[in-house]
Amino acid sequence: MSSSISYWIKDAALFLFLPLIQGFIRAPELELLSTALYPMAIERILKDDANEEKGERARMASFVGAIAITDLVKTTLGPKGMDKILQSTGRGQEVTVTNDGATILKSLHIDNPAAKVLIDISKVQDDEVGDGTTSVVVLAGELLREAEKLVAAKIHPMTIISGYRMAAECACNALLQRVVDNKDNAVKFKMDLMKIAMTTLSSKILSQDKVYFAQLAVDAVMRLKGSTNLEAIQIIKKPGGSLSDSFLDEGFILDKKIGLGQPKRIENAKILVANTAMDTDKVKIYGARVRVDSMSKVAEIEEAEKEKMREKVQKIIAHGINCFVNRQLIYNFPEELFADAGILAIEHADFDGIERLALVTGGEIASTFDNPESVKLGHCKLIEEIMIGEDKLIHFSGVEIGQACTIVLRGASHHVLDEAERSLHDALCVLSQTVNDTRVVLGAGWPEMVMTKAVDELARQTPGKKSHAIEAFSRALIAIPTIIADNAGLDSADLVAQLRAEHHKKECNAGIDVITGSVGDMAELAISESFKVKQAVLLSATEAAEMILRVDEIITCAPRKREDRM
């Protein structure tokens, strides 16, 4: 008995000190703490080191965690947002410079469960629509910040949740009424895509050359013809040159070298894309092994092996090809045979490489070669070796099916390239999603203001405590243009107030023009965003906030003890 009592005393001391340390626990919680001390007789319910937080304290822990995460990524929002340096703890202490919300959050090691929820929504946003990864976290954080105030004003979390739900639905509908859909007008739609791409890129490292890259991204996505498979767009990064030296290649570039003594340039190429062993063609029958009793027999077997390989090569050549691309290694011997036959043999193209190549050239990936007539070969007009910077690459141009393409990025350093790739990826994702869901809204704080207006209207019509929550929702929405303005070093209070006034007029297109630091017409400034992204941001942020608000207890298990392997 005595031991358990001492445990409680120890814990009690801890509990009593905590308020002093944290300084923000008010009187009612002290009562709560004393009830926590009540079961003197129990030994322990939970295991050692496990820990349990209840009621207000649990809620506070999740609010604090979520808001901390929000404040962390907040400064990256908008065209004048700043970047972060992330240094990995692993070997090499690798450094990443980024302003992509999902990348920043993914790299953080967080212990706070509420913060983990936010990181998760940002990741999902990245997978699902590709952009808006920062906005979703900021919105969820702002919703929780507002909720914290309401909870402090003695409004039950459940009431807040139902208010938020109503507000989110209303906001979504309001936005839906103002979307522009240029599905039927190809020229206009392409303009929309351009605008979206430029808006996305303007907050990234590529903002200097955003027109160029936006064009690049739109061209690449238009080639996909509605598929969302971004695999078909290959991005090759080569350090050197400047970002504006990057280009989109209509053909396909394979980052490989051509075998020795083989032609460096082939016109009207017939390509066989293969996935087969060209090193030692092993006997696959289980348990087979060679046992011989003399050297001469070894030579014979070796000869037979070579013969087998030669036959295989002959079969491949019999397809009437002049280019052979294999996923696996090609040993010297078959390579030599190919060279003799004047065939270009490319070895060790990885999985993605051959899949893309097969896609571009229209060939099929072959592994057996007995029926040359039934294997579809790939075709292209010209294969040649090209130089980018100092590296030699193989370039396939004049391909049959134009779905795939390659973007070659050039830049001063690896960090720039990595960030450029992430930015471009965001743009590509958004564009490919927009091609499927062609609804477009204006950007730069416009959608938030439209939603705010509708939500405010709803708050005025709703009786009961819920209206406080609905008002809070609209305040959280306004926080986004406020942060964009703040990050650009503008007077946010003044700008947002102006914006609000503008939006009270009918059919207004006003948003924040960060460049001139004033309120501008977004339709004229050509700033647009995809409706799908905005909708996803709104819904997942509300969902996450709801989830965190519902919690009234956090139980943390004892961390698993790791054996020291060092």
Partner 1 sequence: MALAFDEYGRPFIILKEQDQKTRLRGIEAQKANIAAGKAVARILRTSLGPKGMDKILQSPDGDVTITNDGATILEQMDVDNQIAKLLVELSRSQDYEIGDGTTGVVVMAGALLEQAERLLECGIHPIRIAEGYEMASKIAVEHLVHISQKFDFGAANIEPLVQTCMTTLSSKIVNRCKRHLAEISVKAVIAVADLERKDVNLDMIKVEGKVGGKLEDTELIYGITVDKDMSHPQMPKQIEDAKIAILTCPFEPPKPKTKHKVEIDTVEKFQTLRLQEQKYFDDMVQKCKDVGATLVICQWGFDDEANHLLMNRNLPAVRWVGGVELELIAIATGGRIVPRFQELTPEKLGRAGMVREKSFGTTKDKMLYIEHCANSRAVTIFIRGGNKMMIEETKRSIHDALCVARNLIRNNAIVYGGGSAEISCSIAVEAAADKYPGVEQYAIRAFADALDSVPMALAENSGLQPIETLSAVKSQQIKDNNPHYGIDCNDVGTNDMRQQDVFETLIGKQQQILLATQVVKMILKIDDVISPSEY
* Segment interacting with partner 1, rule: CB under 8 A, options 35-43, 217-225, 233-241, 438-446: 35-43
* Cα torsion 332, 338, 344, 347: sign: negative
Of 350 and 553, the one with the shorter C-beta distance to partner 1 is: 553
Mask of contacts with partner 1, 172-211, x by CB under 8 A? ----------------------------------------
Tell me how far apart the alpha carbons of residues 33 and 38 are, in angstroms, rounded to a whole number.
9
62 binds partner 1, rule: CB under 8 A: yes
Among this protein's residues, is 100 annotated catalytic?
yes
> Least Å distance between CB 412 and partner 1?
28
Residue 545: exposed, middle, or buried by beta-carbon count in 10 A (0-12, 13-18, 19+)?
buried
Position of tokens 């243009």?
Answer: 481
Of 167 and 449, the one with the shorter C-beta distance to partner 1 is: 167
Mask of contacts with partner 1, 207-236, x by CB under 8 A? ---------------------xxxx-----
Among this protein's residues, is 133 annotated catalytic?
yes
The answer to whether 248 touches 216, Cβ cutoff 8 Å, is yes
Of 333 and 517, the one with the shorter C-beta distance to partner 1 is: 333
435 binds partner 1, rule: CB under 8 A: no
* Segment interacting with partner 1, rule: CB under 8 A, options 47-55, 236-244, 314-322, 520-528: 47-55
The first and second tokens of residue 365, run together, are 């990936």
Mask of contacts with partner 1, 114-153, x by CB under 8 A? x-xx--xx--x-xxxxx-----------------------
Among this protein's residues, is 426 annotated catalytic?
yes
The first and second tokens of residue 274, run together, are 């293969």
Q: Is 179 helix (H, G, I), strand (E, B) or coil?
A: coil
Q: What are phi and psi of 25, to 5 degrees?
A: -90, 130
Q: How distant, in Å, are the alpha carbons of 35, 112, 118, 141, 313 from that of 67? A: 29, 11, 10, 5, 64
> Least Å distance between CB 542 and partner 1?
9
Site for partner 1 in 391-430 (CB under 8 A): 429
460 binds partner 1, rule: CB under 8 A: no
462 binds partner 1, rule: CB under 8 A: no
Q: How many CB atoms lie under 10 A from the CB of residue 337?
A: 20
275 binds partner 1, rule: CB under 8 A: yes
Query: Exactly one of 255, 364, 385, 502 binds partner 1 (CB under 8 A); which one?
Result: 364
Distance of alpha carbon 226 from its chain centroid, rounded? 20
Query: Exactly one of 47, 225, 504, 565 binds partner 1 (CB under 8 A); which one?
Result: 47
- Picking from 530, 527, 529, the residue whose alpha carbon sits closest to that of residue 433 is 530
Query: Exactly one of 10, 44, 149, 264 binds partner 1 (CB under 8 A); which one?
Result: 44
- Catalytic-role residue among 76, 98, 100, 456: 100
Distance of alpha carbon 246 from its chain centroid, rounded? 22
Tell me how far apart the alpha carbons of residues 326 and 321 are, in angstroms, rounded to a whole number.
13
